[in-house]
Structure 1
Amino acid sequence: MSVGTTQTRQGLGSRLAALARIVELGPGRVDPKLLAEAGRLLLRAGDRLKLSSEHTVVALAGGTGSGKSTLFNSVSGLELSPTGVRRPTTARTHACVWGLEGAGPLLDWLKIQWRHRFARASALDRGESQLHGLILLDLPDHDSIRALTDNEADRLIQVADLVVWVLDPQKYADASTHRRYVTDLAGHEAVTVFVLNQADRLEPEELAECMADLDGLLRREGVENPVIVATSATTGQGVDNLKAVIAEAVTNRRAAVQRLEADLDRLTRRLVKAMPVQDAPVPPSSIDDARRIGLADALCDAVGVPAIGEAMENVYAARSAEWVGWPYPRWIAGLRPDPLKSLRLGDLRDEIRGIGGSVSAQPAEVDAAIQALADGLTVGMHEAWRNGVREAARSRSAQLPEALAEELTEVAPRLDRVPGWWRALLVWQYLLVGLFVAGLAWIGTALVYGVFGAANPPAALGLFADAASLPWVGLMVLSVLGLGALTAVASRNFIVLGAGTEREGMEREMRRRVAGIAQSMVIEPVERELARYNEFYSAVRAVHD
């Protein structure tokens, strides 16, 4: 095998590998019929490239009465294929091999029956060394009655390295032949030859006119540079010219690769038409930080993270009054309605557990956030891939609200939690209440016994009954009231500041967890789909180029 042929096969191998990736990545995005055809081409190419590269399979195809079998015998120099008299037809494919060594597996793959295989062992002795490596097939007539139920001709036309179409002057423009076969030959000029047989039946001027008409017909059907040879199997006219065309293909040992390349080019044109490459965007396979943050923020809004933080802060501020407020105002406030009930907050943990689906608006907001992400990433994409990214983004959307609820429930604060310093302040406040009550009792005793002299004070009261102590006791009572009020205000301020700090920490943790869920349940599936998209189009470009 020449260096050029080796490089050509390597180039074809790279394109076929890219096609294999397209077949792997295309389901759900590409027309199943097109993928099935690509799969069949891959199988055929893999089989053919593993078989003998020293042999070139040339198939003689034609309709009934075209003289195909007679031409086959003429080229081979032997009466190998039977020719009909009243109704010419070839029932089974016949093969003539120039150089039998290594051809067996290839003939088996072609499914040529043993009794229809013939070898030209004397080809070199006859001066036909240029045909060494030729496997010449005489196919069944593609338009015979048998062909209606037997697709052997169609099958071999699809796998032959070089196809020689044998046409006769009466039916060379036959619509069935051109409609079924010729219109699919665009791009196959290097591996297709057209033979106008039975040329002996025409005058030179008629032959030239038929050749020109056939050339024009083929060009109109997309065959840019058709190779046309005029022959007469009965007189031998033009048979050497046909042998020369075949010999060139056999000598170059490139027909098999050229045929596969032509088939691949045709399939690629259809693929690119279905999935245009030129204007296809190339999105990054990983989602940028701005979109990640945007999705996390949208999901946080959907589950009410800011509202949860605000509610926590309000509840802490309201409940702190029960523990660190000056008892007298608190007792008075107790006569009014419960502030928690007026806030309608209840147990925040139960509220968070309800995020999973009890509130109908929230799943819709989650879906809207996911939709916005997908739409932003798929601008300019083919509709099939746009839908693919959307499906990937929504692949776990049904479980997403519940997952968010479970995560946020773990982070939600315990509203019945009472810090230790709240308890210490409560003891301190009641101590002050006790001092205030004791002071009032002292003042009352001093007024009764020391000021009004209602009776002689018991000896045990001593100082408590002395009127001189009233200013100092009054000052103490006022100090206790001021200290209690100051303690309550300072404590409330500390609690509010602490609640704000705790709210910020809680919201940061919630956002971190929401971002983690968004990463695993939305972003990762989308990134896999984007990677699939980019790899698919890279493979299409590799096949196309």
Structure 2
Amino acid sequence: MFGRKHSLSERLSALDDAAALGAEYLSPAEHAALTRVADAAGERRELSAEHTVVGFFGATGSGKTSLFNAVVGEDLGRTAARRPTTSSPLAAVWDPVGSEELLNWLEVEDRRNRPGEFAPKAGPLILLDLPDFDSVEPVHREIATRLAGQVDVLVWVTDPEKYADSIIHDHFIRPHASHSAVTLAVLNKSDKLSEPDRKAVAGSLEQLLREDGLKKVSVIPTSAKTGDGVEDLRRAIARVAAAHTAQTARIEADLATVTAPWAGQKPLKEVPASAKRRMDELLADAAGADRLATVTAAAYRKRLGQKTGWLLTSWMLRLRADPLRRLGLREEADETGVHRSSLPALDASGRAVANRGVRGYAADVAEGLPDRWAGAVVDRTETIVDELPEELDRAAARTTLPAQPSGAWGLFTVIQWLALLAALVGVAWYLLAAFLPGALYPLMDDIIPEIEGWPIPTLLILGGLLLGILLGLFTGVFGLAIGNGVKRRTRRALRKEVAEISAAEVVEPLAEIRSRYARFLEKIHVAAGR
């Protein structure tokens, strides 16, 4: 239902779906980010929900490890013969029951169980001292980067000398700008500053953090050397842990970060129907709609003339080749799609018209799509324009052409034969009279009767000939008028066939890309909690 707040499980499932929908169109980095957050969140939720994991992150020389030891209350590194520097993660664990699988997932091998509780109501807690993220050793940076994406709470430790370092802000803090709710910022070694300078530097760091996107983070000045501010940091960690919302808040922040590039995008508008009409007009022109309409009208007039013309001359029409037959076309549609006409293949001009129609439609489809999705539309369009001419050639063969006069014209054929028969009767009458025996000659007046002074055989001859000629002229003129209608119907039929071809060969494949993005965007919005 619109406006319903989605659960975290639904949001993570939507992120999985978005990653699958965008697999072909996202950059490797974008797709990896979606799958990484979906996988990491799913795995984290299957592990201990009781433990809050807090990671200490800092640059070389920031005093991060010293501050970590001060918060823990013991120098844990001193008891580890293999840890002369912060080269691998070190875990301080309060209430370790159930933490083993979680630490295995975090790939933290060095684990130190702590007695009692970290603070009242803080619950089970894991503090991690991590390698320096600006270390010259790539593996150290990789560990810090990986765990920055896994821990529940991030503690950024800096010092007065490096608090404005671009490496800290550009590569670590800014990418986690959505994590204000689970982020603590620490200005360590504050004992090196006077009180006014400490306030000024802390204020400057807060301003930089706000510019990074962390709107709700305040800076905690500390000194591992003097112990100043350490208790403030412990209370801040205990407060976050006691809320038992860090894990969920972290996942929600990850979702907000990873969906940010698309979450603000508005749903796509429908491709205007006028775009397809414009394309179909151009494709019909390229397919020779006008020529086919003219040929079909000519075939109709020829066949009508053969059927209803004056019988003494209409036979000559049969000596002329049928316009449709000459092009290898027939009036019945060829449903097999194998039959090809003898219409010339699209020339350069026809291809240019067809290509302009398809590419124009593709531009409307690509409107509003991100670059990679729009690029996929362009790539698919180039494949289509290579294959479409052959389909357009078959369009004429699959079109039902109205070139055959209807059976009603058969009445005129009957009348033409009756008229010719009447004329032949008149001629036969005179021949009979001419060749009668001489003894019957006195009876000639009775053999050739008259009407109003006109001999009946003469009337039969003249009437039959005139009726045939007039009927032939009438149907010829009428055939011209009907031929114009045949032209329109043929053009309409071919355009319908072309419209079906364009729907199957152009609209559907391009719409699939657009539809896939629309579904991707819908899933992104759900994952983003919108």
TM-score bucket (shorter structure): 0.7 to 0.9
Give 3-state SS (helix, strand or coil) of 2:53's partner.
Answer: strand
Q: Kindly state the Cα deviation for residue 496 of structure 1 after the two structures are TM-superposed.
A: 5.9
Give 3-state SS (helix, strand or coil) of 2:121's partner.
Answer: helix
Q: Which among 250, 261, 265 is matched to residue 241 of structure 2? A: 250
Give 3-state SS (helix, strand or coil) of 1:193's partner.
Answer: strand
Q: 1:102 aligned to 2:75?
A: no
CA distance in 2, matches of 1:64, 1:501: 87
Which residue number in structure 2 is paired with residue 220 of structure 1?
208
Which residue number in structure 2 is paired with residue 531 of structure 1?
515
Q: Kindly state the Cα deviation for residue 242 of structure 1 after the two structures are TM-superposed.
A: 1.8
For residues 368-387 of structure 1, what are the structure 2 equivalents within 5 Å?
Answer: 368-376=356-364, 386=374
Which residue number in structure 2 is paired with residue 353 of structure 1?
341
> Contact 1:66–1:166 at 8 Å: present in 2 too?
yes
CA distance in 1, matches of 2:136, 2:509: 55
Which residue number in structure 2 is paired with residue 46 of structure 1?
42
Q: 1:117 aligned to 2:111?
A: yes
CA distance in 2, matches of 1:440, 1:390: 82
Q: 1:34 aligned to 2:30?
A: yes
Kindly provide the amino acid, as one letter, of the partner of residue 523 in structure 1: V
CA distance in 1, matches of 2:146, 2:427: 111
> Contact 2:221–2:229 at 8 Å: present in 1 too?
yes
Which residue number in structure 2 is paired with residue 474 of structure 1?
458
Which residue number in structure 2 is paired with residue 318 of structure 1?
302
> Contact 1:34–1:271 at 8 Å: present in 2 too?
no
CA distance in 1, matches of 2:73, 2:392: 82
For residues 267-286 of structure 1, what are the structure 2 equivalents within 5 Å?
Answer: 267-271=258-262, 277=265, 280=266, 282-284=268-270
CA-to-partner distance for each residue in 1:193-230, whole Å, 9 max, x for gaps? Answer: 2334455x54xx62552453144035235244543334
After alignment, is 143-152 or 68-77 more displaced?
A: 143-152
CA distance in 1, matches of 2:106, 2:135: 21
Q: Which among 338, 351, 357 is matched to residue 363 of structure 1? A: 351
Kindly provide the amino acid, as one letter, of the partner of residue 283 in structure 1: K
For residues 153-232 of structure 1, what are the structure 2 equivalents within 5 Å?
Answer: 153-168=144-159, 172=163, 176-198=167-189, 202=192, 206=194, 208-220=196-208, 222=211, 223-232=214-223
Kindly provide the amino acid, as one letter, of the partner of residue 250 in structure 2: R
How high is the TM-score relative to the length of structure 2? 0.77
Kindly provide the amino acid, as one letter, of the partner of residue 34 in structure 1: E
Give 3-state SS (helix, strand or coil) of 1:159's partner.
Answer: coil
Kindly provide the amino acid, as one letter, of the partner of residue 269 in structure 2: P
> Contact 1:59–1:137 at 8 Å: present in 2 too?
yes
> Contact 1:60–1:166 at 8 Å: present in 2 too?
yes
Which residue number in structure 2 is paired with residue 441 of structure 1?
431
Which residue number in structure 1 is paired with residue 78 of structure 2?
82
Higher gyration radius (CA):
1
Which residue number in structure 2 is paired with residue 300 of structure 1?
284
> Contact 1:388–1:529 at 8 Å: present in 2 too?
yes
Q: Which among 496, 500, 508 is matched to residue 516 of structure 1? A: 500
CA distance in 1, matches of 2:90, 2:378: 55
CA distance in 1, matches of 2:348, 2:419: 46
Q: 1:402 aligned to 2:390?
A: yes
Give 3-state SS (helix, strand or coil) of 2:77's partner.
Answer: coil
> Contact 1:163–1:193 at 8 Å: present in 2 too?
yes
Identity of aligned residues (%): 28
CA distance in 1, matches of 2:398, 2:477: 28
Kindly provide the amino acid, as one letter, of the partner of residue 270 in structure 2: P
Give 3-state SS (helix, strand or coil) of 1:96's partner.
Answer: strand
Taking a change above 3 Å as real, the CA distance of residues 71 and 495 of structure 1, as seen in their structure-2 partners, is closer
Give 3-state SS (helix, strand or coil) of 2:155's partner.
Answer: strand
Kindly provide the amino acid, as one letter, of the partner of residue 314 in structure 1: A
> Contact 1:196–1:211 at 8 Å: present in 2 too?
no
Give 3-state SS (helix, strand or coil) of 1:362's partner.
Answer: helix
CA distance in 2, matches of 1:80, 1:209: 32
Taking a change above 3 Å as real, the CA distance of residues 410 and 167 of structure 1, as seen in their structure-2 partners, is closer
CA distance in 1, matches of 2:34, 2:303: 71
Give 3-state SS (helix, strand or coil) of 2:78's partner.
Answer: coil
Taking a change above 3 Å as real, the CA distance of residues 147 and 403 of structure 1, as seen in their structure-2 partners, is closer
> Contact 1:392–1:522 at 8 Å: present in 2 too?
no
CA distance in 1, matches of 2:314, 2:138: 102
Q: Kindly state the Cα deviation for residue 106 of structure 1 after the two structures are TM-superposed.
A: 1.0
CA distance in 1, matches of 2:280, 2:126: 67
Q: Kindly state the Cα deviation for residue 134 of structure 1 after the two structures are TM-superposed.
A: 0.7
Q: Kindly state the Cα deviation for residue 283 of structure 1 after the two structures are TM-superposed.
A: 1.3
Give 3-state SS (helix, strand or coil) of 1:283's partner.
Answer: coil
Which residue number in structure 1 is paired with residue 124 of structure 2?
133
Q: Kindly state the Cα deviation for residue 409 of structure 1 after the two structures are TM-superposed.
A: 1.5
Kindly provide the amino acid, as one letter, of the partner of residue 247 in structure 1: A
Taking a change above 3 Å as real, the CA distance of residues 88 and 16 of structure 1, as seen in their structure-2 partners, is same
After alignment, is 232-241 or 39-48 more displaced?
A: 232-241
Give 3-state SS (helix, strand or coil) of 1:100's partner.
Answer: coil
CA distance in 1, matches of 2:177, 2:461: 109
After alignment, is 425-434 or 30-39 more displaced?
A: 425-434
How high is the TM-score relative to the length of structure 1? 0.75
CA-to-partner distance for each residue in 1:271-296, whole Å, 9 max, x for gaps? Answer: 46xxx63xx574137x64x6555554
CA distance in 1, matches of 2:162, 2:491: 83
Kindly provide the amino acid, as one letter, of the partner of residue 110 in structure 1: L
CA-to-partner distance for each residue in 1:70-109, whole Å, 9 max, x for gaps? Answer: 4333333344323899x96123212121122222221111
CA distance in 1, matches of 2:485, 2:466: 28
Taking a change above 3 Å as real, the CA distance of residues 213 and 381 of structure 1, as seen in their structure-2 partners, is same
> Contact 1:65–1:88 at 8 Å: present in 2 too?
no
CA-to-partner distance for each residue in 1:240-297, whole Å, 9 max, x for gaps? Answer: 222111101110112223333333334444446xxx63xx574137x64x65555544
CA distance in 1, matches of 2:170, 2:481: 85
Q: Kindly state the Cα deviation for residue 142 of structure 1 after the two structures are TM-superposed.
A: 3.5
> Contact 1:123–1:129 at 8 Å: present in 2 too?
no
> Contact 2:134–2:141 at 8 Å: present in 1 too?
no
Q: Kindly state the Cα deviation for residue 305 of structure 1 after the two structures are TM-superposed.
A: 3.3
> Contact 1:281–1:381 at 8 Å: present in 2 too?
no
